[in-house]
Amino acid sequence: GMAPLGPIQLTKDQHYQLSNLEAAYHHLPHPSDSERMRHFLPRNPCPTPTYYPSATFPHADTVELYQRCSTETLFFIFYYMEGTKAQYLAAKALKKQSWRFHTKYMMWFQRHEEPKQITEEYEQGTYIYFDYEKWGQKKKEGFTFEYRYLEDRDLN
Amino acid sequence: VPGSVTSMMQTGITQAREFDDPAGLHEKTEFLLREWVNMYHSPQAGRDSFKAFNAFVQQMHTQGILKTDDLITRFFRLCTEMCVDLCYRALSEAGQSQTMIRAKCFHTLDAFVRLIALLVKHSGDTNTVTKINLLNKVLGIMAGVLLQDHEVRFAEFQQLPYHRIFIMLFIELNAPEPILEAINFEVLTAFCFSHVFHILRPAKAPGFAYAWLELISHRVFIGRLLALTPNQRGWGFYAQLLVDLFKILAPFLRNADMTKPVQLLYKGTLRVLLVLLHDFPEFLCDYHYAFCDVIPPNCIQMRNLILSAFPRTMRLPDPFTVNLVVEHLPDINKAPRILTNIVSLIQPASFKKDLDSYLKSRAPITFLSELKSNLQANPQGSRYDIPLINALVLYVGTQAIPLLQTKGVSMSTIAPSSHMDIFENLAVNLDTEGRYLFLTAIANQLRYPNSHTHYFSCALLYLFRQANDQTIQELITRVLLERLIVNRPHPWGLLITFIELIKNQNFKFWDHEFVRCAPEIEKLFENVARSCYPQKQ
């Protein structure tokens, strides 16, 4: 038959192993079991047609690619994919586009014009920011950006 | 030795089976665990839950949990059981989505993992021994609870809680922090070698096999063991775990009895091997012997994956090059590293002694006539002792090579010698099964350019040329061909040997009957031959 050396009689232990494997096969590990919890975008595997892409395209995890994404996309990644490499890359791309993160308001700000006033502790002027609750960009005039709330870690 | 890591883990495992808890401990633990889960998830927990942890340790003191080692151990056991119970309840709830069930389980499991990680990190201040002892004890308790659960629930056993705890704890304890880096090697030891993952190997806890495979093939785990630990100190641990994996598959693969669950485990194993072949070929090179010893002879592709590995700094000459002179290759005289003690595998000691004296003096002739029965001795499943045949073949070869240093290894220099006497005797006197195993043991050494590949390539061709019996030649052809008709990769030395066999007129390969025994076989040979002379097409 198929066994070139002839079949061996399975031992009692091996029968036990086989039946346990069969039982375990009915509740296999899920991909999410070995990764950090995703609060907003949990993994949800389902059968997809073969004519759709089944994997991300190559080089999808480079900062160059993230720089080509819209700011909206970057904000989405930043707020909905916490603690992932994607969040890190999104933050990096936002910084490259002169967005600055405010650690008290937990929002991203961008100068709308040169600040009216710049001191050692703060700058003041008109800013665009991204409101994650209303989910859109807003303008704020006469806003004081205190530097102690500026997230300025080097993302390299 | 009191306090040694293994004894800590063993105590943990034993203590997982003690149920005479002091009155009220169960309630206290339940209260504390619930408190901790809430604190862990509260926004005030602080970075890495550190603020919450300080407050929580106070509560543990107040509740008297930290008074004795025994109470701490019981606390961990009870917490583990509670986490596990919670998962079983969640998984049995009808009408819930997978995502909701998972989220519920992870909510508690992740909090518990963080608590363990923090306790390990901050126990005993700068005393690393205290930290490692605690970790080993906790892992031992988990393993004990798992084994008990596995035994009691049998088919209802769930891998999820244990899988999650082990992988998350491993990741937490491998974070880039100075305290953790100081104990990193001990952490790796606790998790793998002769410790928790080895204790929970598929043969012992088959219901945990899939999670176990995920654990040992997790990118962080492989990365830590094979790439980040200096001086390859993690390699031996990892090799042991792979041997554990091959061992559970062996009887089912050998019988070609592949139920769906076995197929899945096999597919996962091939994937791990592919990753290793791509990223850590030197690892597969160094341990190829130990792996091939436990992989059944009929698993051609699995073995090819291992035997095709070669050091990344090496450039292999194209085996199809016309007039390739193997003897002139720069690496052909270098011996490969074999990290298995072959000598110790040649048992019994009296046989080893007789073997050595025969190799030295080419006498007595009775050694050869008794050889067959010495290899037949033992075990179940085969009439031959396969590991002994493997060890004998490699040992005899490695003994022969240094003696040929001045003359150079070639078909004209390897015989006559006591070494080739042994090989010729095996080729002639064994029956078909024995010959097949013997030739397989030789073919396992046909790898990248090195002295073993060269020697055994010459030996195999020599046996082919000297054979006065077509069945031996047919069997040699079979062993080579069956390794080449499977999908790639194919070991370099194997290709070299086969090409030499069919190209070199001295072997009169095409004159043999077995080449023309059936139209489909004839066609097969023509196809292989065509791919061996690509330049002519």
Cα gap B39→B179, rounded to integer Å: 24
Cα gap A34→B302, rounded to integer Å: 26
Residue B517, pLDDT score:
87
Residue B130, pLDDT score:
87
- The answer to whether the CB of B25 falls within 8 A of the CB of B31 is no
Residue B378, pLDDT score:
59
Q: Which residues pair with A101 in a beta bridge?
A: A108
Residue A123, token pair as written in the block? 């700058």
Number of A–B residue contacts, CB under 8 Å: 116
- The answer to whether the CB of A153 falls within 8 A of the CB of A92 is no
Most B-contacting residue of A9, A13, A25, A38 (CB-CB within 10 A), to test interface? A25
Angle at B219 between CA A82 and CA B240, to 5 degrees: 150
Beta-carbon count within 10 A of B311 CB = 14
Q: Which residues of B touch A23 (CB under 8 A)?
A: 154-157, 207
Cα gap B202→B438, rounded to integer Å: 30
- The answer to whether the CB of A37 falls within 8 A of the CB of B103 is yes
Residue B186, token pair as written in the block? 């001990």
A36: nearest CA in chain B? B168
Q: Which residues of A touch B202 (CB under 8 A)?
A: 17
Q: Which helix (H) or strand (E) segment is B30 a member of?
A: helix B25-41
Residue with tokens 């090989």: B423
Cα gap B532→B261, rounded to integer Å: 39
A24: nearest CA in chain B? B207
| ipTM rounded to 2 decimals | 0.88
Tell me the nearest-neighbour CA distance from A42 into chain B, angstroms: 7
Cα gap B172→B114, rounded to integer Å: 8
Tell me the nearest-neighbour CA distance from A68 into chain B, angstroms: 29
- Rg of chain A taking only CA atoms, in angstroms: 26
Residue B114, token pair as written in the block? 């963080």
Cα gap B354→A82, rounded to integer Å: 68
Q: Which residues of chain A have pLDDT under 70?
A: 1-2, 155-156
Residue with tokens 């193997």: B326
Residue B284: HSE in the Cβ half-sphere, 13 Å Cα cutoff: 25
- The answer to whether the CB of B150 falls within 8 A of the CB of B22 is no
Residue B408 has φ and ψ, to the nearest 5°, of: 85, 145
Q: Which residues of B touch A37 (CB under 8 A)?
A: 103, 106-107, 110
Instruction: Say whether B110 and A2 touch across the interface (CB within 8 A).
Output: no
Give the residue among B244, B337, B261 at the shortest CA–CA distance from B295. B244
B170 to A143, B7, B145, B176: CA distances (angstroms): 45, 21, 18, 12
Cα gap B512→B515, rounded to integer Å: 6
B451 to A16, B405, B457, B458: CA distances (angstroms): 44, 10, 10, 11
Residue B1, pLDDT score:
38
Give the residue among B413, B387, B386 at the shortest CA–CA distance from B400. B413
Residue B177, pLDDT score:
87
Cα gap B508→B504, rounded to integer Å: 8
Instruction: Say whether B110 and A37 touch across the interface (CB within 8 A).
Output: yes
Instruction: Say whether B254 and A28 touch across the interface (CB within 8 A).
Output: no
- The answer to whether the CB of B490 falls within 8 A of the CB of B308 is yes
Most A-contacting residue of B48, B210, B216, B481 (CB-CB within 10 A), to test interface? B210
Cβ-nearest to A23 among B106, B157, B380: B157
Tell me the nearest-neighbour CA distance from A53 into chain B, angstroms: 21
Tell me the nearest-neighbour CA distance from A37 into chain B, angstroms: 7
Residue B2, pLDDT score:
42
- The answer to whether the CB of A34 falls within 8 A of the CB of B164 is yes
Give the type of residue at B126.
T
- Residue A53 preceded by cis peptide, ω within 30: no
Cα four-point dihedral sign B406, B409, B411, B417: positive
A31: nearest CA in chain B? B214
- Rg of chain B taking only CA atoms, in angstroms: 28
Instruction: Say whether A18 and B106 touch across the interface (CB within 8 A).
Output: no
Question: Which residues, at least 6 apart from A40, have a Cβ–Cβ distance to it below 8 Å?
Answer: A80, A81
**pLDDT of chain B along its 537 residues, tens only?**
344 556 777 777 777 666 788 989 999 999 999 999 999 999 888 888 989 999 999 999 999 998 888 898 899 999 999 999 999 999 999 888 888 999 999 999 999 999 999 999 988 777 888 888 899 999 999 999 999 999 999 999 999 999 999 999 999 999 888 888 888 888 888 887 558 999 999 999 999 999 999 999 999 999 999 999 999 999 999 999 999 999 999 999 999 878 999 999 999 999 999 999 999 999 999 999 999 999 999 999 999 999 999 999 999 999 888 778 888 888 999 999 999 999 999 989 999 999 999 999 999 999 999 999 999 865 556 789 999 999 999 999 999 999 998 899 999 999 999 999 999 999 999 999 999 999 999 999 999 999 999 999 999 999 999 998 899 999 999 999 999 988 889 999 999 999 999 888 889 888 888 888 888 888 888 877 776 665 543
Q: Dihedral of the CA atoms B484, B487, B492, B495 (nearest 10)? A: 20
Question: Which residues, at least 6 apart from A141, have a Cβ–Cβ distance to it below 8 Å?
Answer: A126
Q: What's the start-to-end Cα distance of chain B, in Å?
A: 70
- Residue B416 preceded by cis peptide, ω within 30: yes
CA A100 centroid distance within chain: 18
Cα four-point dihedral sign B229, B230, B231, B233: negative
Q: How many helices (H) and strands (E) does chain A have?
A: 4, 5
A33: nearest CA in chain B? B164
